[in-house]
Amino acid sequence: MGKSTVRAQMDVRLCFRVREPRDGDLILGQGMVKAGWHPHKLDAPGKFLISSPDHDIPRRARTYLLDDEGVQATAERHAEHRPPLDEVSAQALLRAAEMPVMLPPVHRPAVAPACA
């Protein structure tokens, strides 16, 4: 990502805590650290800066780690408030349930025959 041509092709840039200020400029764009954006000083897990075409300057944000059990518990807690599916989505769900599950093939390295 070190070349500006590569960075210019990225519409949305996320910058979590970095070790050095120059790394923040590398991700967010030249001059962002001088302009007051300090990803090397982010002080809590999950804090990050986001830069996108919709924002004229980077914005502070926070994310949280959810494990599978947390997602399942949240889904179960709110299941009774789930709105009904529209007809197209309901049909797609039924078709997906009828389709066999296709597992990817197991890759096994070729074994050379033993020499006699």
Two tokens at 72? 């399942």
Whether pLDDT at 15 is above 60: yes
The tens digit of pLDDT for each residue in 82-99 reads 888 899 999 998 998 888
- Confidence (pTM): 0.51
Structure confidence at residue 48 (pLDDT): 92
The tens digit of pLDDT for each residue in 41-67 reads 998 889 999 888 887 788 899 998 889
Residues paired with 14 in a beta bridge: 50
3 state DSSP class of 54: coil
Whether pLDDT at 78 is above 80: yes
Give the Cα separation of 44 and 53 in Å (integer). 26
More confident residue, 56 or 79: 79
Q: Are 15 and 8 in contact (CB under 8 A)?
A: no
Q: What is the average pLDDT score of the chain? A: 83
Helical H segments across 12-115, by residue range? 21-28, 68-78, 87-98
Q: Which amino acid is at 98?
A: E
Give the Cα separation of 28 and 21 in Å (integer). 11
Which segments within 1-116 are labelled E, that is strand? 13-15, 47-51, 59-62
Using a pLDDT cut of 90, give the percent of the chain over it: 23
